[in-house]
Structure 1
Amino acid sequence: MSTLQQVAFRAGCSVATASRVLNRNGPVSDEMVRRVRRAAAELGYRAGGRTGNGRPAIGVLIPSVTNPVFAASLSSIQNRAFHAGHSVLIAQSNYDPAQEPDAVASLLQQQPTGLILTVCDPERSMALSSALPPTVLLGNLPTTRFTAAVATDNFGAGRDLTDHLLQKGHRRILFISGHFAASDRAKLRYLGYIKAMEAAGQQPLAALEISFVCSLEQLDLSDTISRLDPTAIIASNDLLALGVMGALRRQGFSIPHDISVAGFDGISLGFLGEVSLTTVEIPDGTMGAAAASLLLDMAENAAPPRHLIVPYRLRSGGTVRNLAN
């Protein structure tokens, strides 16, 4: 088994410097970080914590363990990690920026090889303000400091879905979302909606923001519908779109005859209703696998951080009525 002294010798640095790099407890230049990690990888040296099964671990932060989107990502991360000899540690923030630092701190206590994080807003997250091991943002755009990220073009997805509804003859399109402070992905989708509406010469409506973790079976849209009279509603994710459809039906509306509904993500639940949900499919499983591969490459092979964009696909379903005919 290789030792820290051997790693330091191969990297051409002191044992103290090698220790700072591998234990992430002090300032070291980026070049030295790459050299020490490369030496450790070549020698098979592991400084990270291990789970009860003896494997090194990857720490993963997601907003919610109940959303199928993150379940798909986690499954792919776990599969990729398992084949690389790693376990996965999971924490959730409940879409609350204030919970993120404690959630990340709990992961760091296990001394993971690295972290895969989906945060509410990477530019404002306090969880990203301290020294972290190799880190990949999943679903978030990269920042100046955290340049490794795997995401899709949420702005483009919001624009394209809105264009689809406009082409179907809809003009009063309402955007319903979880709180934007809880999801930069939802905010980008709304900004894409605004762009498409303005490009078409239409007045965008102010978004209706509700809690991502509210009881959707109790969602009441009666005041909003009577006040704004939309012909179509875009929800910021598919779970919310299904909750919107339930709320509309409780009010006696028929979908899509009275009001059309569309969402984002492409979760399998959207296929199970009387009509399939019009949605933008986001390949969350592919994104999770890519994030895990990128993280392991950075942590074990000193690979440079990269920003990977995964394409989305618009899937036209039966929940949008064509008003143009």
Structure 2
Amino acid sequence: MTPTIKDVAKKANVSIATVSRILNNKPGFTPETKLKVLKVIEEIGYQPNGMARGLINKKTQTIGVIFPNVSNMYSAEVLSGIEDAAHEDGSSVIVCKTDSSMERTMKYLRVLAEKRVDGIVFASEMIKEPFYKFMQDVKIPVVLLSSISYQYPIPYVKVDDRHAAYTATIYLIEQGHKKIAMICGDRNDLIAGIPRVEGYKEALQHSGISVIEDYIINANGFAYHNGQEAMDEILVKKLDVTAIFASSDEMALGVLTTAHQKGIKIPDDFSVMGYDDLKLAQMSIPQLTTVAQPLYNMGKSAASMLFEMIATGEQVQSRIMPHSIIKRDSVKERL
């Protein structure tokens, strides 16, 4: 039979309330009593019921994480940071994949509310009004990750996508490239589409280079196959470019694969630059030059901010994380 808190109290010769205070780090017992209770818990193998403790301290030591996609390396690296922060806090993580579906997102928000999670990390998607209203109604604290809301006062963790794309484009220009194509995930995407295209354009304009709209390829996504299709489009259109800036590493790897299949040499025929600095960027041939987001640290920061909000009940300051250029072998200086 599974030991209960009542069994612990009886064997330790203390009240159930004393055992509860010890389990929840509340005052009202001596160090000797604590040692005695913990020894009994170990001897009889008592496992505190998380939901029962939640009824006492109003917390379940669980957070939810909402992703549009969890099958890529971007999500894996971010989630690793979230998981480590949760482990340090003594909490668990429930991960929900929405496929960017409004219906599925609302479904998972309701599930997380029913599970009484202490907070939610909302990653890589825009907060729509029904999402925000629901979380406000159920009073669940939330932190945005790789996203931002100008409409709602929600703290966020992200890089400055516009500045990062500007930095990447300037780097290519400094290597002697003036004819630079950009593969954007979705030109109408407010999170990672519009800001990165704007950064690319600004870098060209500040360098006295004309923006050619045909050089901007709308790939409708950030996946590997989107990069392959975009590279095919560049070749079919016979765009007179010397460098390609892809707004994700997965797309850049798709470009490298298509180039190899077509007998195109990278970086001799085209220089290629990515965005993210996934672990895969070091595994490609040639290794991928990219603009790095500190993905693990972004995940850990988002979770840490959430735990601070849970503990204090107060809003926290948003964080813009640093980006950097990682120089590898896929970009060649053009003399």
With the length of structure 1 as denominator, give the TM-score of the two structures: 0.77
Q: Which residue of 1 aligns with 2:321?
A: 310
Runs of 4+, deviation exceeding 4 Å: 95-99, 180-183
Determine if contact 1:58/1:112 at 8 Å carries over to the other structure.
yes
Name the residue aligned to 2:131.
127
The AA in structure 1 aligned to 2:166 is R
Residues 119-148 of structure 1 deviation map (CA, whole Å, 9 limit, x = unaligned): 4334x5643343341000011124342331
Q: Does 1:61 align with 2:72?
A: no
Q: Does the 8 Å CA contact 1:97/1:125 hold for their aligned counterparts? A: no
- Letter paired with 1:102: K
Q: Distance in 1 between matches of 2:266 and 2:147?
A: 32
Residue identity opposite 2:221 in structure 1: F
For 1:222, the equivalent position in structure 2 comes to 232
> What's the counterpart of residue 147 of structure 2?
140
Amino acid at match of 1:57: T
2:259 aligned residue (223, 248, 259): 248
Aligned equivalents of 2:148 and 2:56: distance in 1? 32
The equivalent position to 1:191 in structure 2, one of 190, 198, 221, is: 198
Counterpart in the other structure of 1:236:
247
What count of residue pairs does the alignment treat as equivalent? 278
Secondary structure in 2 matching 1:88: strand
| Match of residue 287 from structure 1 | 298
Q: Distance in 2 between matches of 1:285 and 1:63?
A: 18
Q: 1:315 to 1:125 in 2, by over 3 A?
A: farther
Contact 1:95/1:183 (CA < 8 Å) preserved in 2?
no
Cα RMSD of the aligned pairs, angstroms, is: 2.6
**Which of 78, 87, 102 is residue 73 of structure 1 equivalent to?**
78
Pair 275,125 (structure 1): closer, same or farther in 2 beyond 3 Å: farther
Aligned-residue offset at 1:93: 2.6
Q: Do the aligned residues in 1 keep the contact of 2:185 with 2:192 (CA within 8 Å)?
A: no
Greater C-alpha radius of gyration: 2
User: How far apart are residue 167 of structure 1 and its match?
Assistant: 1.2
1:168-212 deviations in Å (ceiling 9; x for gaps): 121221111222455612431221101111112223344322243
* 2:153 alignment partner, SS class: coil
Q: Does the aligned pair in 2 maintain the 1:281–1:315 contact within 8 Å?
A: yes
Query: 5 Å matches for 1:1-325?
Result: 46-48=57-59, 50=60, 56-96=61-101, 99-122=104-127, 124=128, 126-132=130-136, 133-181=140-188, 184-206=191-213, 207-212=216-221, 216=225, 219-220=228-229, 221-227=231-237, 228-323=239-334, 325=335
Aligned-residue sequence identity (percent) comes to: 26
Structure 2: gaps of 5 or more residues: 1-16, 22-54
Contact 1:216–1:243 (CA<8 Å) still a contact in 2? yes
Unmatched segments (≥5 aa) in structure 1? 4-43, 51-55
Alpha-carbon contact 1:232-1:261 (below 8 Å) kept: yes
Distance 1:114 1:233, change over 3 A: same
Deviations 1:51-75 (A, max 9, x none): xxxxx21010122112212211111
Name the CA distance, whole Å, in 2 between partners of 1:300 and 1:106.
Answer: 22
